[in-house]
C-alpha cells in the first residue's frame, strides 16, 4: 500500500485551499473485492459492487 507521501500528487484548482491525497482503488483493494478499515476503534468495510462502484459500510 502507498504511504501518503507516495500518493499521486494533485494539482488543486486555482484558489483552492484544500489539498487531498489521491489513492488508486487498486492500491487499496490489492486484487480483493473488499477490505476492512479500522478507524477510531470502529471497523468499516470498503467493497466493490457488481456495478464497479465503491460502498463503505460500518
Query: Cβ distance 7 to 23 under 8 Å?
Result: yes
**How would residue 18 be classed by pLDDT, with cut points 50, 70 and 90?**
confident
pLDDT of residue 27: 97
Query: Cβ distance 24 to 30 under 8 Å?
Result: no
13 versus 27: the higher-pLDDT residue is: 27
Residue 8 has pLDDT above 60, yes or no: no
CATH of 4-57, one of 2.10.70.10, 3.40.50.720, 3.10.105.10, 3.10.20.520: 2.10.70.10
Residue 2 has pLDDT above 60, yes or no: no
Query: How many residues are listed for the chain in this entry?
Result: 58
3 versus 54: the higher-pLDDT residue is: 54
Amino acid at each position: 500500500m502507498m504511504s501518503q507521501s507516495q500518493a499521486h500528487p494533485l494539482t488543486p484548482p486555482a484558489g483552492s485551499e484544500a489539498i487531498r491525497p489521491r489513492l488508486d482503488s487498486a492500491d487499496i483493494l490489492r486484487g480483493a473485492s473488499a477490505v476492512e478499515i479500522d478507524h477510531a476503534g470502529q471497523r468499516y468495510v470498503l467493497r466493490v459492487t457488481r456495478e464497479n462502484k465503491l460502498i463503505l459500510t460500518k
